Chains A and B, each alone.
Chain A
Amino acid sequence: MHMMEQTTSHPDPLMGAQRRVILCAGTGCVANGAMKVYAAFQERMQAYNLPFTLELREENDNSGKTAVTRSGCQGFCQMGPLVTILPENILYNQVKPADVEEIIAVSLIGNGVVERLLYIEPGTEHACKGTDDIPFYTRQQRFVLGDCGIIDPDNLDEYLRNDGYRAAKKAFVQMSQEEICTEISESGLRGRGGGGFPTGRKWEAARRQVDDKKYVICNADEGDPGAFMNRSVMEGNPHSVIEGLMIAARAIGADETLVYVRAEYPLAVQRMRRAVKDAGERGILGKNVFGSGFNISCEIMEGAGAFVCGEETAMIASIEGQRGMPRPKPPFPAESGLWGKPTIINNVETLAHAVRIIREGAFRFRELGTPASPGTKTFALTGHVANTGLIEVPFGTTLREIVYNIGGGITADDGSIDPAGFKAVQIGGPSGGCLTKEHLDLPMDFDSLRTVGAMVGSGGLVAMNQGTCMVAVARFFMEFTQRESCGKCVLCREGTRQMLAMMDDIIEGKADETTLPLLRELALAVQKGSLCGLGKTAPNPVLSTLRHFADEYEAHVKDKVCPAGQCKALLKPWIDAEKCKGCGKCVKKCPVEAISGELKQPHAIDQEKCIKCGACLLSCKFGAVEGLQGGYA
């Protein structure tokens, strides 16, 4: 345990090196070509004969050298690949291999800044020098994500130097099981996976069970479309997940832990496996951890693509090699879970918070957030906002702050800022609901969101502009839950199918006055008649949009019009007589002979015959075809 002692000193972000170049190596930046930039740095610095090191090790003398390392996701995915230069804390975005030469010359050999690679704040056109200067970062409070953008996820030493495994050691050596559970209970930590169940109560229930075998499972089956917080934590700071699992295991008296990761996240799986291997080799995992006499093992299991496996009992069935179907509760997994033994299942983010609570105390954790929802929450901010990416804010932050100050405002379809563009935010994925203009100043926490028919969920925040049809959005979620229904409960299996059919009728203009009342009635029945969270919450997107955008539904049903102009079947194309030159090109292109008119005279479209294929729109050189753009943008 020699190396554990070294971690008590405060982390030095430069680890002795004169300068540090950090390259974000999250999925987003890698997709944007970060690895090529990394290779270019290696190659150019060697070519220049610059003293540099690729790995930071305490034993090495790094002074005078420049270190080039990779980090996990820094959250600002859209602007990737991101390159940070320390200690100046310059953040370059959208860096290409060709830019590396200039960065080396200006910022590494010299002390300057390459202005053209800085982030330009949309709206003000202010060139931001680094994370201290960019509103996207300065308005956040990053704890779970804090280390993600700084440390090399594949390097255990770096984690150790940043206070890593100190909390786990404390839990094993200094604290009793009761003390850990009490500390977590006092912190008020609530499950970050969606439900918001008090974590301390869950741990306490499992601790009280008398059994020779107990399990801790980390739920990393982040299935919500539009959410990627857990992926980023696993990719950026995998050891924090393992440390959280160790603390949970110690608290309830378990010796086996397991991480159930979505198979769609290959990089996260790879980094978690590497972290488990490294921790095992150092004796952090394994037998007699920290000399406490306790054993801890950790296994990584890949999911096989079933959304319902995010539900506790379904996940247990999946780990046992069965179809991932939920079962009735009670008994709760804390009493009878994996292989009938007491089991606790916690989300990645919950475990990462637990580490900090044990390390710094419940009191520190409560400093942020609201009394009933303390601490911070990560959100995946996506959709029609200027800055998409991963953010972490205290509970109680308003939607306005997130969308306008961190997100930089709503964008139109062409990517420009549209000050009046805000229509809604979908929160909590397929289980959640919509927040509209009237909710912009609502402090967001577990309870306030529930009162307006939405939920925190796992934290997906998808912003939508005025060009988005809310009925189509609700239909999209309905299709998702219908496809993912495991088929166990009749109302979920058949009910969601019928709801989807009704949603299809509405967007295809086949609905009549009976559709909406029936849709509402069935939605309430599905909520009541389903066993697990998936079925119970499946109607939420429909109910929430029915509540906040009733007029849009009415327009689809009664007037057969899609106000956003997105639903293809409801489009009514027409030809602007002012612009039409009567060239006859569209007449030839129309596959159903719906367009007629004399040559050199304005043409017209027969609505009865038109199939809204868009051929005329594409063929017209004068932009005379109107009313189709929404569906073909």
Chain B
Amino acid sequence: MNALEMETILQQTPARRFEKVCAILEQHDNQPQRLIPILQAVQEEYRYLPEDVLTFVATGLDVPPARVFGVATFYSHFALKPKGKYCIRLCDGTACHVKRSIPILEAIYKRLGLSSKRNTTEDMLFTVETVACLGACGLAPVVVINEEIHGQVTPEAAVKLIDEIEEREKVSCT
């Protein structure tokens, strides 16, 4: 989803916006114990957890909004802010770390003008995250862009991957 599509979702009327949430809640029989799978499905739909949707989920499950927010903020997979179209996840597990993953992170940050505090580019194209371990330690260091895994990455290779995506995006825009 690009910035434009995101905009369209945000501009949808509340009734339309919650239609999908209603369907998700129904799939899980409005059961509060299914909260985590529900939030996972909502995030799949919106790419993040918008605040008003969380409140809507709380109402739908008949639990206090604080409980929904509590769960949403506890688990690292849930994002309360929109993510970029390309989510770059750098593995910083032990194996990747000892094989020097941090210089790769620094190179990616530098290339995109990001930092650990601000990790999404303004054009909503890239989000950069580190994860504890992707379980592909044999290929360390590893970078995952959306679902695609890249092994034995160097800082130069990571920058090249970003260049390629930007190039592709430029072509598809024109």
B149 contacts A264, CB within 8 Å? no
Residues of A within 8 A of B151 (CB): 28, 31-32
Residues of A within 8 A of B147 (CB): 266
Residues of A within 8 A of B138 (CB): 28, 76-78, 80, 228, 382, 388-390
- Answer yes or no: B17 CB below 8 A from chain A CBs: no
From A301, A305, A318, A462, give the contact of B94 (CB < 8 A). A462
CA distance A28 to B142 in the complex (A): 10
CA distance A226 to B131 in the complex (A): 12
Assuming the contacts A31-B151, A228-B137, A383-B98, asked whether A306 and B75 have C-beta atoms less than 8 A apart, the reply is yes
Residue of B whose beta carbon sits closest to that of A460: B94
B150 contacts A304, CB within 8 Å? no
From A302, A307, A323, A380, give the contact of B40 (CB < 8 A). A302
Determine which residue in B74, B103, B133 has the highest number of CB atoms from chain A within 10 A of its CB, and name it.
B133
B99 contacts A304, CB within 8 Å? no
| A: interface residue count bin | 35 or more
A304 contacts B77, CB within 8 Å? yes
A231 contacts B135, CB within 8 Å? yes
CA distance A320 to B95 in the complex (A): 33
- Answer yes or no: A124 CB below 8 A from chain B CBs: no
- Answer yes or no: B76 CB below 8 A from chain A CBs: yes
CA distance A154 to B95 in the complex (A): 29
Number of residues on chain B facing chain A (CB within 8 A): 39
- Answer yes or no: A227 CB below 8 A from chain B CBs: yes
A272-298 interface code vs B (CB 8 A; 1 in, 0 out):
000000000000000000000000000
Assuming the contacts A30-B149, A302-B37, A323-B70, asked whether A228 and B94 have C-beta atoms less than 8 A apart, the reply is no
Closest 8 CB pairs of A and B: A77-B138, A226-B94, A225-B93, A304-B75, A228-B135, A382-B95, A31-B149, A321-B35
* Min distance, Cβ B152 to any Cβ of chain A, angstroms: 8
Residues of B within 8 A of A389 (CB): 138
Assuming the contacts A304-B77, A306-B76, A323-B71, asked whether A318 and B36 have C-beta atoms less than 8 A apart, the reply is yes
- Answer yes or no: A633 CB below 8 A from chain B CBs: yes
- Answer yes or no: B34 CB below 8 A from chain A CBs: yes
B122-138 interface code vs A (CB 8 A; 1 in, 0 out):
00000000011111111
- Answer yes or no: B140 CB below 8 A from chain A CBs: yes
- Answer yes or no: A473 CB below 8 A from chain B CBs: yes
- Answer yes or no: A337 CB below 8 A from chain B CBs: no
Residues of B within 8 A of A223 (CB): 132-133
Residues of A within 8 A of B92 (CB): 225
Residues of B within 8 A of A227 (CB): 133, 135, 137
A426 contacts B94, CB within 8 Å? yes
A324 contacts B74, CB within 8 Å? yes
* Min distance, Cβ B133 to any Cβ of chain A, angstroms: 4
Residue of B whose beta carbon sits closest to that of A477: B94
A304 contacts B40, CB within 8 Å? yes
- Answer yes or no: B56 CB below 8 A from chain A CBs: no
Interface CB pairs A-B, < 8 A, 12:
A27-B134, A30-B149, A31-B142, A78-B139, A227-B135, A228-B133, A228-B137, A231-B135, A262-B135, A306-B74, A382-B140, A429-B94
B132 contacts A28, CB within 8 Å? no
